[in-house]
Amino acid sequence: MTLPGVGVFSGENTSYLVKELRRAGFQVRAVWAAGRKSAERIKRELNIECCTTDIKELVIRADVDLVIIDSPPPTHSQIATNALRIGKHVVCTLPAGLNLNDAKKMIQASCYYPTLLAAASSPLRFLDQIQRIKNMVRSGKAGRVLTIEAKLKDNMNECEQWKLDNRMGGGALSLLAAYITDILSHILGEQANRIHSFSVRSSNHSACDSFSAFHLSFPSGVYCSANVAFSSYFEFELIFTCTKGTLRLDSNLNVTTIPEDLIRFFDSSGNAQGRTESVNESEDSEESETGNEETANETEVETINSVEIIKSTDNPEGKEEEEDQPPIKIDQGIQATVEKRNAKTETSHSFICSSEMPLMTRGIPVFINCIKNAFLDGGYDPRAWDQATLDSTPVANFGDVLYIQGVLDAARRSDRTGEWESVETNEEHDSSLMFQHEMNLYSEVVDALQI
């Protein structure tokens, strides 16, 4: 069984994307770049046979069956529709176009040949912590979700000028809010129906919004408060307030639960290595109420060659018990973390997992493997893929793209009006697409039977 040849429309993650595609066994046949100098540099650095600046030249290549779009948003709709209409599989990064009209064109093209793969790349979905939180929320082990707080700040690369122009699909709302919207709907299993938003433009970059705050309302009664911004540092945070406790995910993908009992559901598979911090107060002890109060529950976590050594300074009498316990092993690359907590006011459980790899690209290898497995299960034809295999993974489809663009368009309307806006559901549009899909299947059956 062979995998389809791949053509990549380059963007900011091209080098890493090509590297992971080759590692998974895909043959990268051609790469598109916006300029001649960029094409020559990519061809030299990545050892690509064909690098072109012509979109049509890459799409019509006979040795390319899978097109991966990592280019700026203005090109997404044109590339995806042209590729799908001539029988190419398509994977597109978010936000997948400039607006809702672009998303409609893409989903219409995907329904023209329903047997083609039309997927959206959202690497944050494939983070192990996101999947565990999703399982906890959907299983009800954390109780009913009441509110969500979300935050995403990312460095602004001024070398890519299109990111500084709203007309080119740039700005914090388009580039960052799309990922927050997708992650929340993926975890909750439902789509927002209303949004209230406002955006602020920086004096240095007046052509795009550098900060955007929005509120989402879901049909189940969940409310989310989120803000996204271009900043000089990276920051990511998700806080789920549920009826049975709180779940928090930070920039280093450290998961903290309050109360500590919730972490056992997060840690149920046995793969996650956690650390419990709790101190039993003694009624007869007077030292715990005096000078040792601030250092009663201070824990230092140090990592040496994937071995976590825990040194506790608050309980000298319990050293013998700690020495009998085997060391806890965690993944390589986990950095040293120091946390201080007040034993009299808080107990918590933390799942520590941090890495030097950027958060926005950390899920790409898993995403590529999901695409690979779908083609391998499709049979000996390199162009065939298995729908059931892909549906069992977190891979997003073009229906999710349509929803995300509906949220972004509603956010822009809310920014202008200052009112809550409804997210367009496109029920009539979906019904027409289903009718078109059924007619295409009917035509294929008629042609096969030669009626």
Mean pLDDT across the stretch 263-280?
A: 45
Count of all residues that appear for the chain in the document: 451
**How far apart, in whole angstroms, are the C-alpha atoms of residue 355 and residue 333?**
6
| Segment 291-300 mean pLDDT | 41
**Rounded distance between C-alpha atoms, residue 105 and residue 75, angstroms:** 13
Band of residue 373 on the pLDDT scale cut at 50, 70, 90: very high
> Which amino acid does the sequence have at 31?
V
With a pLDDT cut of 70, the percent of the chain lying above it is 73
Q: What is the full DSSP assignment across 176-218?
A: IIHHHHHHHHHHHTS---EEEEEEEE-SS-TTSEEEEEEEEE-
Using the Cα atoms of residue 269, residue 270, residue 273 and residue 278 in order, give the sign of their dihedral.
positive
**Do residues 414 and 116 touch, judged by C-beta distance below 8 A?**
no
Bridge partners of residue 441, in order along the sequence = none
Going along the chain from its start, the domains and CATH numbers come out as 5-124+360-449 (3.40.50.720), 270-279+295-354 (no CATH)
C-alpha Rg value of the chain to the nearest Å: 25
pLDDT band for position 208 (cuts 50, 70, 90): confident
pLDDT higher than 60, residue 443: no
Helix crossing, 128-139 with 178-188: angle to 10°? 40
Q: Residue 381's pLDDT is what? A: 75
* pLDDT average, residue stretch 195-210: 85
Q: What is the pLDDT of residue 30?
A: 93
pLDDT of residue 334: 36
Q: According to the model, what pLDDT value does residue 157 have?
A: 63
Beta bridge partners of 150: 226, 238
Cα torsion 76, 365, 402, 196 to 10°: value is -110
Query: If we measure between CA atoms, which residue out of 188, 192, 180 comes closest to residue 94?
Result: 180
pLDDT of residue 396: 92
> What average pLDDT is seen over the chain?
77
pLDDT band per the 50, 70, 90 thresholds, residue 425: low
Percent of the chain with pLDDT over 90: 42
Q: Encoding tokens for residue 410?
A: 């509603």
CB 183 within 8 A of CB 108: no
CA distance linking residue 341 with residue 228, whole number of Å: 29
Stated pTM of the model: 0.75
